[in-house]
Amino acid sequence: MKINIYSTLTKQKEELRSINKNKILMYSCGPTVYYFAHIGNLRAYLFMDSLRRVLKYNGYKLKHVMNITDVGHLVSDADEGEDKMMKAARLENKDPFAIADFYTKAFMEDMGKLNIDLPEIIARATEHIECMEDYVKQIIKNGYTYQTENTIYFDTSKLDKYGVLSNKNVKEDDTEARIDVDPNKKHLNDFALWIKAPENHLMKWDSFFGKSYPGWHLECSAMGHKYLGEEFDIHTGGIDHIPIHHENEIAQGKGFCGKNPAHYWMHVEFLQVDGKKMSKSLMNLYTLEDLKQKGYEPLVYKMFNFSSHYRKKINFTFQAMDSAKIALTRLREGYTKHLNGTEDIEEDKIKDYEEKFLTAINDDLNMPVAMSVVWDVIKNPIKSKKLAKLILKFDEVLGFDLKNYDPQEEKIPEDIVKLLEIRKKARENKDWAKSDELRDIIISKGYNIKDTKEGMEIKKI
């Protein structure tokens, strides 16, 4: 069955036609590892997860690369501000490489908690400095750059058109927009490819440009080329990457070999809080750990995301998270009921569900419609193992790890067990205030307590 995906390049849904038969070459812009990923960032990787799973469900093999940005991403996506890694290193008083290691590990843990199907290749920028050097040398050789005292710039005026994704007008003489910009930069949209490191700059390498470091946009072009070639099928990222980062990746590809690297460019919309993008700078963020503290397991956040299409903004509220939590419980319980069912169901009905599900996911990953099919299966009054098997099949796309779900194994985590012990002692000492305080903490972590004659009864909320 054909898969339609929306490409920002053509601004329409297009039928996916892969370069290789049965194999998709794909690149996703990964995290800048200077802090914990917030759940807005994680929406981008949940989208990536759904896309991977939908492609696999349709029988494709994948070669998918995701970068880890551990150098060169300035506070602004353009060439202004401090390097995010260096800023974090200064604030935490740590070596920037140690910062990168710590937050890369934290990011990978988050991926695991959300049961995200990981790209085949995860590439760290700092391990590809030579690869970036080779790439930039070719762009220089092809005549697409100019050099100022401290920077090698990409000269966007050398392209037929700069801004193919966002259809920007090149405002070369917009003096207002040029405030704070390097006066030696020739055109407003020109961007840094390689930068000379000031004395106190910690992340720098000996290269053709002296002690220096690469510009942020370069890593995706160089690593994409190294692992996927001059042209690949799909490139993904958040919508904030459209106007600068991805325009610059396309510019670099054109400068390197005359080609836009990806045939389809896919972008995921923002997670918002009170109508504003969730972001570190607005300080309106939550991490998976924050959600856990409030009693929501990570997969509830995945369920929350399925309530909206990836190209639509979604507003984060705890009310919506409560609904998602109920939905996840319903899904697990409904699956278990079918698993224990003994009735039979006609093959035609199963085929009908399968077709509807496939139509939804192949229509530009329409997960809300796909979920409505899942609910129809769950609600079917015929309780049949065949329907449980079907739900498991759908879960290859959803990724709720139902095949490993065991209702008997709803284990109480160790931190809760410890809190229960402390509360038990408090009650033995008749310290009711402490007992109540601990009960509230335990509830906030997602467990209900009932005090009975026999002791405490604990149940997941």
Residues that bind ligand AMP (CB under 6 A): 29, 31-32, 40-41, 43-44, 237-238, 240-241, 268, 270-271, 277-279
224 interface partner picked from ligand AMP, Zn ion, none, CB below 5 to 8 A per type: none
* Shortest Cβ 245–Zn ion spacing (Å): 5
The site that binds Zn ion (CB under 5 A) totals a number of residues, namely 2
Q: Do 57 and 396 form a contact (C-beta atoms < 8 A)?
A: yes
298 versus 334: smaller Cβ distance to ligand AMP: 298
Tell which positions 232-251 bind Zn ion, by CB under 5 A: none
Q: How far is the CB of 223 from Zn ion (least distance, A)?
A: 9
| Least distance to Zn ion, CB of residue 321, Å | 30
Sorted by sequence, the CB contacts under 8 Å of residue 240 that are 6+ apart come out as 77, 270, 277
69 versus 435: smaller Cβ distance to ligand AMP: 69
Question: Measured from the CB of residue 268, what is the shortest distance to Zn ion in angstroms?
Answer: 13
Q: Which residue is nearest to ligand AMP (CB)?
A: 238
Question: Tell me, what DSSP letter sits at residue 242?
Answer: I
Q: Of Zn ion, ligand AMP, none, which one sits near residue 271, judging by CB under 5 to 8 A according to partner kind?
A: ligand AMP
Nearer to ligand AMP, 29 or 78 (CB): 29
* Residue 220 binds Zn ion, judged by CB under 5 A: yes
Minimum distance of ligand AMP from residue 269's CB (angstroms):
7
With beta carbons less than 8 A apart as the criterion, state whether 195 and 95 touch. Answer: no
Are the CB atoms for 328 and 403 separated by under 8 Å?
no
Cβ nearer to Zn ion, comparing 220 with 365: 220
- The site partner of 291 among ligand AMP, Zn ion, none (C-beta below 5 to 8 Å per kind) is none
Write the burial class of residue 354 (CB in 10 Å: 0-12 exposed, 13-18 middle, 19+ buried): middle
Q: Indicate which of ligand AMP, Zn ion, none lies near residue 220 (CB less than 5 to 8 Å, by partner kind).
A: Zn ion
Task: Choose the binding region for Zn ion from 22-30, 137-145, 167-175, 416-424 (rule: CB under 5 A).
Answer: 22-30
Q: Which does 442 bind (CB under 5 to 8 A by kind): ligand AMP, Zn ion, none?
A: none
Asked if residues 264 and 27 have their Cβ atoms less than 8 Å apart, the reply is: no
- The DSSP code for 239 is G
Q: CB burial class (10 A; 0-12, 13-18, 19+) of residue 338?
A: buried
Which partner in ligand AMP, Zn ion, none is near 270 (CB below 5 to 8 A by kind)? ligand AMP
Report the distance separating Cα 282 and Cα 302, nearest Å: 23
Terminal alpha carbon distance of the chain: 41
Taking the complex as a whole, the smallest distance from the CB of residue 321 to ligand AMP amounts, in Å, to 16
d(C-alpha 279, C-alpha 84), whole Å = 14
Looking at the Cβ atoms of 278 and 358, the one nearer to ligand AMP is: 278
Q: How far is the CB of 207 from Zn ion (least distance, A)?
A: 21
Q: Which residue of 5, 24, 29, 300 would you call a contact of Zn ion, by CB under 5 A? A: 29
C-beta of 40 vs 446, nearer to ligand AMP = 40
CA distance 456 to 461: 15
43 binds, among ligand AMP, Zn ion, none (CB under 5 to 8 A by kind): ligand AMP
Q: What is the DSSP string of 408-451?
A: GG-PPPHHHHHHHHHHHHHHHTT-HHHHHHHHHHHHHTTEEEEE
Nearer Cβ to ligand AMP (72/237): 237
Give the C-alpha separation, 89 to 35, whole Å: 10
By beta-carbon proximity to ligand AMP, the closer residue of 293 and 315 is 315
The answer to whether the beta carbons of residues 18 and 61 sit under 8 Å apart is no
Rg (C-alpha) for the chain, rounded Å, is: 25
Residue 370 CA to residue 174 CA, distance in Å, equals 47
Residues that bind Zn ion (CB under 5 A): 29, 220
